[in-house]
Chain A
Amino acid sequence: MAGTGLFLCFFLVIHLLGNLQLLLPAAEAKEQFNWYSHLLAGNMLIKIISWVLLISIIAHAVYALLLAAKTKKANGTKYVYDKRNEVSPWNSRNMGLLGTVILIFLVIHLKDFWYVADFTTMALDKQGYKDMYSVVVLTFHQWWYVLIYEISFIALGFHLLHGFFSAARTLGLYHPKYVKIVRYTGWLYTAFITGGFMLIPIVVYFNN
């Protein structure tokens, strides 16, 4: 969980940095974003990374299911009266639920952008690149679509808030000083990723 999780954490940073181009003024954003999409689509290295990414997502989910099965077996008889939730944060106990929300989101997300970009014929922009920017703008013009994104990113935020530091612990980071640094870094990281991804659909919705 830690290895694949941290790789996915790293990927999110790259993904967000690329997406921040959507916040530029419309004309500039269109030119930049289409150029960037074209750059990624044609790069062999990106192809390899995208396969590693897909495998990581599947491995992360499959291992989570295996752990859930182990937990079910280890728990035995359920408590009749259970107040154990008072002593741990809600998100740390519901990583599976949050992960499921993220997985459903990923299916929608990949269908609407990755599938459209790679497997359908698209209009070209002035530079002769596939016009991904217009696809993004049109998609984010539906308020309910923006809402799905916002809800998914909230789930992602809570997932990262626990996942980031938990991964470090699983890998064996035990020194109190660095544990504290990783906790703070986790908070900052989560705020940056969640805030960034939540901002983009809203800005695109109101700007165009």
Chain B
Amino acid sequence: MKIYLKIWRQDSPATPGAMKNYELDDVSQDMSFLEMMDLLNESLIQKSQRVVEFDHDCREGICGQCGMMINGRAHGPLTHTTTCQLHMRSFKDGDTIYIEPFRAAAFPIVRDLKVDRKAFDNIIQAGGFISASTGQTPEANGILISHAIAEAAFDAAACIGCGACVATCKNSSADLFTSAKITQLALLPQGKVERTERVIAMVDQMDAEGFGHCTNTEACEVECPQEISVLHIARMNYEYNKALIISH
């Protein structure tokens, strides 16, 4: 099928970008979205033009590297999907597809569709860890954790940090990402010890990175490839409010 593309091209963080038009023939419905991008880049190479840069890694929906705004939606028209798991069968012959990078002040554009998500790493570094040295791997049943708690912590831990929550949020808030990390650690006995310091450090870092404020529109949960629940945000607020009261 024939696809018309309008893609954001930007040479460097400092230079202004703009939408450029491209046409692609022979796009198969079985291609993944990123394979379609590969096809475009091959045609650009053959014309000795600079390729469209975009992030990708595993291409099986688990690493969180890929992420584009496709037709105005984070990761494209499907809900709970990464860009690599979106396939061209979601589009029709003759369609025009708008492709832009995930936009937020805290996600500066490196080039084209590639954004710097270091702000997420900084949030994790502010407190998304357990500081006690654990030595060797302990005996698996040394600390008993109920099945329900283990599952709930794992649901939160499933966040792959792709940034779709920030991109789709009208406030560019990183609450879903940060809250998933906070919940995961606050639920488990090893993480509970430092929960008070952690939530304050991570929320403060999130604000310092320039992310916006959560107003509970719940758009993030819809676009999240891992279906991270917005209730984690409420739990983070609970942890944060509690920490404000009981911390020194």
Contact = CB atoms under 8 A, between A and B. Distances in A.
Contacts of B210: 73-74
A4 interface: no
A86 B170 CA distance: 12
> Which of A81, A171, A173 has the largest number of chain B CB atoms within 10 A?
A81
A71 interface: yes
A174 B235 contact: yes
B72 A81 contact: yes
Given A84-B168, A87-B219, A88-B222, A70 B73 contact: no
A179 B221 CA distance: 16
B205 interface: no
A166 B171 contact: no
B223 A87 contact: yes
A82 interface: yes
Nearest to A78: B103
Q: How large is the interface on A (under 10, 10 to 19, 20 to 34, 35 or more residues)?
A: 20 to 34
A158 B84 CA distance: 37
Given A76-B103, A80-B8, A92 B242 contact: no
A67 to B, nearest CB: 5
Contacts of A93: 170, 217
B156 to A, nearest CB: 12
Contact of A74 (B211, B230, B240): B211
B179 to A, nearest CB: 9
Interface string A4-24: 000000000000000000000
Interface in A52-66: none
Given A81-B98, A87-B223, A176-B231, A166 B215 contact: yes
B100 A92 contact: no
Interface residues of B, number: 46
Contacts of A51: none
Nearest to B222: A87
B90 interface: no
A172 B100 CA distance: 34
B239 interface: yes
A82 B72 contact: yes
A165 interface: yes
B103 A84 contact: no
- SS of A interface (majority): helix
Interface string B205-232: 0000011111111110011000000111
Contact of B234 (A75, A76, A78, A169): A169
Contacts of A73: 105, 210, 212
A93 to B, nearest CB: 5
Contacts of B239: 172
B71 to A, nearest CB: 6
A83 interface: yes
Contacts of A71: 170-172, 212-213
B234 A79 contact: no
B22 interface: no
A76 B104 contact: yes
A87 B231 contact: no
B106 interface: yes
B222 A79 contact: no
A162 interface: yes
Interface in A144-160: none
A81 B238 contact: no
A86 B70 CA distance: 13
Nearest to A82: B72
Contacts of B192: none
Contacts of B98: 80-81
A136 interface: no
Given A70-B213, A80-B98, A93-B217, A172 B235 contact: yes
22 contacts: A71-B172, A71-B213, A74-B171, A74-B213, A75-B105, A76-B103, A76-B104, A80-B19, A80-B98, A84-B72, A86-B73, A88-B218, A89-B217, A93-B217, A95-B215, A169-B237, A171-B237, A171-B238, A172-B239, A172-B241, A174-B238, A176-B231
A-B residue pairs, 4 tightest by C-beta: A172-B238, A83-B72, A74-B212, A174-B234
Interface of A: 67, 70-71, 73-84, 86-89, 92-93, 95, 162, 165-166, 168-174, 176, 179
